[in-house]
């Protein structure tokens, strides 16, 4: 279980981005985190996985617990070793590495059993097995997303953070990613914190959802209730399935204040 209490994050000592965020990703469940561009979702994930440092950001207040341990002062390698994995926004596969090398580096913190672990990933993502010697940079966007997820799973994390896995994917691929998240969650019992712009996709598989705006959680409910919520429908689900593609449209800048 991952528990965030009252976390505040400041970049460059002055820019406050998170203003007291509290959130819980229940053990073995999928939790969705929604929010418009710039709400601070990625920043929250960086705080969880110890990547703020490299962005000159800091957790200035609050606490983050992974199981029993307070991890908000730990560095990224220590957090990964403790069982928290992350798929970064924009996939970030090592383009010059082969598929297999990407998976091997995903298992960097493992002690032994690496090839079995990689074989499990090939079973989960057969498309990667076919392309194991291929240079990752030449894979399609969907395949790269699979690779990024596979890479994070090699280490057998207890909790995995997914930052917009459906970003830039065609509807069929989005469906596939969605099925895989469910499979990983069910077969491995991995706790998932799923950040998405595609609210429909995220809420349809999550048990609980949070909505973030301007560095605060402004809504927090059962995923089912959020799906039926007027504001959510209006903001995220307006055009049903197609809401994904808004992300890439320049004119979609509409902001709506929650709870006001």
Partner 1 sequence: MTTFAQAILSGTAQGAIYALLALGFVIIYKATHVISFAQPALMVCGGLFSYHFSAVLGWPFWPSLFIAILLGAALGMVIERLALRPMVGKPVFTLAIITIGVDVVLRVLANRYIGADSRALRYPGGGERYELLGLALSHRQVTIIAVTVITVVSLALFFRYAKAGLAVRATALDQETALAQGVRVGAMFALAWAIAGGLAAIAGTFIATGSGGIEQDTWIIALKALPAIIIGGLDSLQGAVIGGLLVGIVEQVTAVYQAAYLPFLGANFSLVAPYALMLLVLLIRPYGLFGTKEVERV
Ligand X SMILES: Nc1ncnc2c1ncn2[C@@H]1O[C@H](COP(=O)(O)OP(=O)(O)OP(=O)(O)O)[C@@H](O)[C@H]1O
Site stretch for ligand X (CB under 6 A), options 11-19, 94-102, 135-143, 177-185: 11-19
Instruction: Fill in the DSSP letter of residue 135.
Output: B
Give me the 81-120 binding string for Mg ion, x by CB under 5 A, dash otherwise.
--------x-------------------------------
Give the one residue of 6, 20, 53, 55 binding ligand X; rule: CB under 6 A.
55
For residue 223, give the 3-state DSSP assignment.
Answer: helix
Nearer to partner 1, 158 or 213 (CB): 158
Q: Tell me the closest approach of the beta carbon of residue 165 to partner 1, in angstroms.
A: 14
205, 178 contact by CB (below 8 A): yes
Residues 102 and 38: their CA atoms lie apart, in Å, by 29
The entry of Mg ion, ligand X, partner 1, none that residue 122 binds, CB within 5 to 8 Å by partner kind: none
Site stretch for ligand X (CB under 6 A), options 12-20, 111-119, 133-141, 229-237: 12-20
Give the one residue of 39, 118, 136, 147 binding ligand X; rule: CB under 6 A.
39
Q: Does the protein bind ligand X through residue 29 (CB under 6 A)?
A: no
Nearer to ligand X, 53 or 187 (CB): 53
The entry of partner 1, Mg ion, ligand X, none that residue 11 binds, CB within 5 to 8 Å by partner kind: ligand X
Q: Tell me, by CB under 6 A, how many residues bind ligand X.
A: 14
Q: Does the protein bind ligand X through residue 17 (CB under 6 A)?
A: yes
Q: Are strands 216-222 and 208-213 parallel, antiparallel or unpaired?
A: antiparallel
178, 210 contact by CB (below 8 A): no
Structure tokens at 195: 């950040």
Q: Scanning residues 32 to 61, which ones bind Mg ion (CB under 5 A)? A: 42
Nearer to ligand X, 10 or 118 (CB): 10
5, 63 contact by CB (below 8 A): yes
Residues 17 and 160: their CA atoms lie apart, in Å, by 23
Interface residues with partner 1 (CB under 8 A)?
Answer: 49-51, 54, 56, 76-77, 80-81, 86, 88, 92, 94-97, 101, 104-106, 108-109, 151-152, 155
Host H or E run for residue 23: strand 15-25
Q: Which has the closest alpha carbon to 18: 51, 49, 61?
A: 61
Print burial letters for 131-161: b (CB count within 10 Å at least 16), e (below 16).
beeebbeebeebbbbbbbbbbbbbbbbbbbb
Count of alpha carbons within 13 Å of 94, Cβ hemisphere only? 14
Integer-rounded Cα Rg, in Å, for the chain is 18
The entry of partner 1, Mg ion, ligand X, none that residue 39 binds, CB within 5 to 8 Å by partner kind: ligand X
Contacts with ligand X by CB under 6 A lie at: 11-12, 15, 17, 35, 37-43, 55, 89
Contacts with Mg ion by CB under 5 A lie at: 42, 89
């Amino acid at each position: 279980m991952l528990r965030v209490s009252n976390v505040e994050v400041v970049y460059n000592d002055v820019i406050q981005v998170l203003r007291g965020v509290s959130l819980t990703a229940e053990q073995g469940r999928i939790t969705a985190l929604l929010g418009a561009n710039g709400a601070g979702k990625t920043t929250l994930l960086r705080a969880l996985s110890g990547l703020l440092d490299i962005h000159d950001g800091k957790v200035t207040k609050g606490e983050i617990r992974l199981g029993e341990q307070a991890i908000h002062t730990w560095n990224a390698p220590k957090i990964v070793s403790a069982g928290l994995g992350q798929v970064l926004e924009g996939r970030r596969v090592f383009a010059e590495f082969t598929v297999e090398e990407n998976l091997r580096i995903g298992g960097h913190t493992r002690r032994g059993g690496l090839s079995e672990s990689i074989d499990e990933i090939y079973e989960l993502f057969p498309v990667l097995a076919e392309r194991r010697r291929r240079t990752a940079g030449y894979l399609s966007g969907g395949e790269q997303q699979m690779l990024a997820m596979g890479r994070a799973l090699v280490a057998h994390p207890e909790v995995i953070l997914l930052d917009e896995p459906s970003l830039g994917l065609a509807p069929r691929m989005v469906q596939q990613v969605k099925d895989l998240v469910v499979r990983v969650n069910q077969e491995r019992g991995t706790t998932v914190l799923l950040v998405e712009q595609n609210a429909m996709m995220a809420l349809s598989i999550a048990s609980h959802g949070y909505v973030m705006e301007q560095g605060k959680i402004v809504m927090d409910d059962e995923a089912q209730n959020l799906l039926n919520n007027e504001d959510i429908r209006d903001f995220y689900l307006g055009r049903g399935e197609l809401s994904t593609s808004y992300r890439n449209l320049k004119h979609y800048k509409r902001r709506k204040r929650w709870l006001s």
